[in-house]
Amino acid sequence: MTGIILKKELHMLFVSPLAWILLTIIQVILTWTFLGRLDVFLEIQPQLLQIANPPGFTEIVITPVFALAAIVLLMITPLLSMRLLAEERRNHTLTLLISAPLSLADIVLGKFFSVMVFFGMVIVLLSTLSATLALGGTLDWGVLFSNVLGLLFVAASFSALGLYLSSLTSQPVIAALGTMGILLALWVIDLAAGNTNAWLRDLSLLRHFERFNQGVIDTFSVVYFILFIATFLILTIRHLDAERLHG
Amino acid sequence: MTEEAVNLTLSVENLSHRYSAFTGVNSINFEMRRGEVLGLLGPNGAGKSTTMRMLTGNLAPSTGSVLICGVDLLKNPDTAKIHLGYLPEIPPLYQNMSVDEYLRLAATLHRVASHCLESAVIETRHHCGLDGRGRQIIGTLSKGFQQRVGIAQAIVHNPDVIILDEPTSGLDPNQIREVRHLIGALATHSSVIFSTHILSEVENVCDRVLIMHQGDIVFDRKMGDIHQQQIHLDAIFTDLTQKHENPEEQRQ
């Protein structure tokens, strides 16, 4: 039954111009940066040859482009996630879904996966772009893979949080602002981490993404992302259920 | 006796809901049979909508149980809800979908098999007077047509119990008459509950009248008995729903 909600959400997303505009903007920004980094690489290539064990274009092109992609996804998540539940509530259409023979988990997961399909498309486009580098040299496929995985994890974390905030209100704008604020705070929280409160660093989404970005798939980070996603999805289901209980 | 059990579509026992500040519905009981049309009357705030929301799983009751075609709504919501069609007070319409897309979605959500989907949509559209509107975007329809789409959404899967919350509000007299006809036609194979403020509507369409006041059922009669005993619905409504109001005011 999750599939029905997923299909409906994708239909609603892609009949509106929003999804296409966002896809275009993201693709333009990322391709622009990609070409810029490629230029830099070609410029410094002669100097690189003189170093023993020089960094290849995976480090110089792919790593920074994926780091930027993570920020771009952070920025557009609120735009996609705000309407998921807040708009259904505002238009009174949530009743249709709740009166249907569906569980709340079906509704929440269907909506979550719809955003993930969108992000999946962004990531596929970006990976294809990166893979074209293999035409001109040797690409470190391992680093590319860990970047793709890392980007999927951060995108899923963003969406889960956005979905939860969208379930709290009937004002999409409030959901968007809340999501943006919390995501930015979680992104940069490691700046606040000193010697005494080093645990703050472990809360930072950026910190965990950086590991993947450098080509390290750390179990700790994987667990962090999975817990983060599961927590917010469960909170969303619990919140909708509580609403049903108390009216 | 067994036939009676088969025909029983809805049975509500000791159903109540307490909001944090007050009791919305206070331990109500009633049963419905196939082919019955029940008019739910009551002043605003009497608990009509709360009752309907509980019958459709949108609100969890504080106590009591709801059986729909013998399936417990609280224990097996997924099975029970297949037999339910619900039109809330504000129709749950996706403004940027076309009528057909919306009805197809409503039908799939209620597990209409994919090979019957198209025929179900076409049939429902015809019943609700939406012929030729299939491709129109819901947001561009007039209020009356939107209300019809709302009703269509509630009946597209041929449910055994149809619950309509003020289906005629905001419609013009012609449309109200059409909705009445539709309710009559639906009653041949289902049970229909609808709430309204228009007393004459109840007299024309219903087999049975239920009046709620302050969360209690204060009146429950068959239409036949009402005619036989020459009870004036108007008078009894005023009598039942106003006499309790004074102590309420004193309490406040």
In this predicted model, what pLDDT tens digit does every residue of A128-157 receive, in sequence order? 999 988 887 788 889 999 999 999 999 999
Chain A residues in contact with B58 by the CB 8 A cut-off are: 95, 98-99, 244
Query: What phi and psi, each to the nearest 5 degrees, are found at residue B134?
Result: -55, -40
Q: A244 and B60: CB-CB below 8 Å?
A: yes
Q: Which of B109, B133, B158 is the last residue of a domain?
A: B158
Chain A residues whose beta carbon lies within 8 Å of the beta carbon of residue B97: 12
Is the Cβ–Cβ distance between B108 and B117 less than 8 Å?
A: yes
Among residues B171, B210, B197, B183, the alpha carbon closest in space to that of B39 is found at B210
Q: Write out the H or E segment, with its range, that includes residue A89.
A: helix A63-90
| Per-residue model confidence (pLDDT) at position B44 | 86
Are the beta carbons of A99 and B58 separated by less than 8 Å?
yes
Mean pLDDT across the stretch B40-45? 88
| Percent of chain A residues past pLDDT 70, beyond the cut | 99
Same domain, B37 and B105: no
Question: What is the spatial distance between Cα B83 and Cα B91, in angstroms, rounded to a whole number?
Answer: 19
CB–CB of B80/B57 below 8 Å? yes
What was the pLDDT predicted at B252?
Answer: 40
Per-residue confidence at B122, pLDDT binned at 50, 70, 90?
very high
Structure confidence by residue, pLDDT tens digits, B183-241: 888 888 899 999 988 888 888 888 899 999 888 888 888 888 888 888 788 888 888 88
Task: Evaluate whether A69 touches A209 at the Cβ level (below 8 Å).
Answer: no
* Of B4 and B51, the one with more pLDDT: B51
Q: Can you give the CATH number for the domain in which B214 is found? A: 3.40.50.300
Tell me if residue A115 falls in helix, strand or coil: helix
Residues from chain A contacting residue B159 (CB–CB below 8 Å): none
Residues of A within 8 A of B103 (CB-CB) are: none
Give the residue from B158, B191, B206 where a domain finishes.
Answer: B158
Do B96 and B78 sit in the same domain of this protein? no
Q: Are residues B65 and B15 in the same domain?
A: yes
Residue B187 sits in the same domain as residue B233: yes
At A233 the pLDDT is: 97
Phi, psi of B84 (to 5 degrees): -110, 140
Is B153 near chain A, with CB under 8 Å? yes
Going by pLDDT thresholds of 50, 70 and 90, the confidence category of residue B249 is very low
Mutate to test the interface with B, among A84, A95, A238, A243 (most CBs of B within 10 A): A95
Using a CB-CB cut-off of 8 Å, the residues of chain B touching A244 are 57-60
The number of C-alpha atoms within 13 Å of A241 and in the hemisphere containing its C-beta is 13
**Reported ipTM:** 0.87
Angstrom distance (rounded) from CA A206 to CA A224:
12
Contact A247 B53 (CB under 8 A): yes
Q: Which residues pair with B30 in a beta bridge?
A: B12
Query: Averaged over A161-189, what is the pLDDT?
Result: 93
Percent helix, percent strand, percent coil in chain A, to nearest 5: 85, 0, 15
Same domain? B124 vs B61? no
Q: Would you give the distance in Å from CA A125 to the centre of its chain? A: 14
Do B199 and B211 fall into the same domain? yes
pLDDT digits (tens, 9 = 90+) for B46-56: 889 999 999 99
Task: Assess whether pLDDT exceeds 70 at residue A47.
Answer: yes
Contact A246 B57 (CB under 8 A): no
When divided into structural domains, chain B yields a total of 2
A-to-B residue pairs, Cβ atoms closer than 8 angstroms? 70
Is the per-residue pLDDT at B245 higher than 60?
no
Residues B79, B165 within the same domain: yes
Residue B68 touches chain A, beta carbons under 8 Å: no
pLDDT of residue B6: 65
Same domain, B164 and B72: yes
Is B106 an interface residue toward A (CB < 8 Å)? yes
> CB distance A102–B60 less than 8 Å?
no
Last residue of a domain, one of B102, B137, B158: B158
Q: How confident is the model at residue B250 (pLDDT cuts 50, 70, 90)?
A: very low
What percentage of chain A has pLDDT greater than the value 90?
69
What pLDDT sits at residue A247?
A: 65
Give kind and range of the element (H or E) at residue B167: none
User: How far is residue B99's CA from residue B236's CA, in Å, rounded to a whole number?
Assistant: 41
B26 lies in which domain range? 2-83+160-251
User: In whole angstroms, how far apart are CA B187 and each of A155, B87, B221?
Assistant: 50, 16, 18
| C-alpha to C-alpha distance for B49 and A245, rounded to whole angstroms | 15
Identity of the highest mean pLDDT range in A47-61, A187-201, B122-136: B122-136
